[in-house]
Amino acid sequence: MTRTSLRSLFAILFVFALAAVPLTGCDETTTDTTGTGGDGDGDGDGDGDGDTTLDMLIATSEFSACAGCHAPGAPGFVDGTTEATQDWTNADTALTTLMGTASGLGGLSESCNGVPFIGSSLDSSLLIAAFDENVRANFDVMGFPDCTGAAIGDMTLQIGTALSAATETLLETFVQEQIDANALYAEDPSWAYDHWAFDHE
């Protein structure tokens, strides 16, 4: 490739870069005003909409029970048994800790330590699996072959009730918002990488 054509290639790429930046900005604005997709920064300060769904979720009778076991010093917390990363004290602590992975599990569930609560899809999210028998049966997260089926605790047993249809929808909406926010976040570096690779061919 000649120097001149290389230079025009760079010029074209530059125009692409200029065009792509405001587009990304528009996307984010649209996302925020329509109320879908959290900002994914995990600070739960109300600047993204994921935590609004989480506020509604945590206010349900089912999810207000989580903090009875999953919170520092919770009365129902059993060391070496109860999942220990989650802190359902409030929406802020829940959002931050749900960005992490499971810990503190023993016995049958031990193989799930290290599995993310929010995966790349609803079906690969431990937070969904803990409430859905079918998701548990087919749960398959790379690197954790034994975290599947009965190894995943059934939280409807722990809270003593199945989720209402409305709560189930809130849970799935919240997890999907976080998945989308994570994808949006990952978009930018991969875009840059693709163009870097092309530049240097």
Binding site for ligand HEC (CB under 6 A): 62-63, 65-66, 68-70, 76, 81-83, 86, 102, 105, 109, 112, 117, 126-127, 130, 152-153, 155, 158-159
Residue 68 CB, nearest distance to ligand HEC (Å)? 5
| Residue number, 83 or 177, with CB nearest to ligand HEC | 83
Please say which residue, 54 or 181, places its beta carbon nearer to ligand HEC: 54
Q: How far is the CB of 71 from ligand HEC (least distance, A)?
A: 10
The C-alpha angle 144, 146, 152, rounded to 5 degrees, equals: 100
- HSE-up (13 A, CA, CB side) for residue 172: 12
CA atoms within 13 A of residue 31's CA, in its CB half-sphere: 19
Name the residue nearer to ligand HEC (CB basis): 81 or 90: 81
CB contact set of 19 (below 8 Å; sequence gap of 6+): none
The three-point CA angle 50-183-164 to 5° equals 40
Taking CB atoms, the residue at the shortest distance from ligand HEC is 153
Contacts (Cβ under 8 Å, ≥6 apart) of 79: 104
Least distance (Å) between residue 163 CB and ligand HEC: 8
| CA dist., res. 34 & res. 122, Å (int) | 21
What is the nearest approach in angstroms of ligand HEC to the Cβ of residue 129?
7
Quick one: 69 or 181, whose CB is closer to ligand HEC? Answer: 69
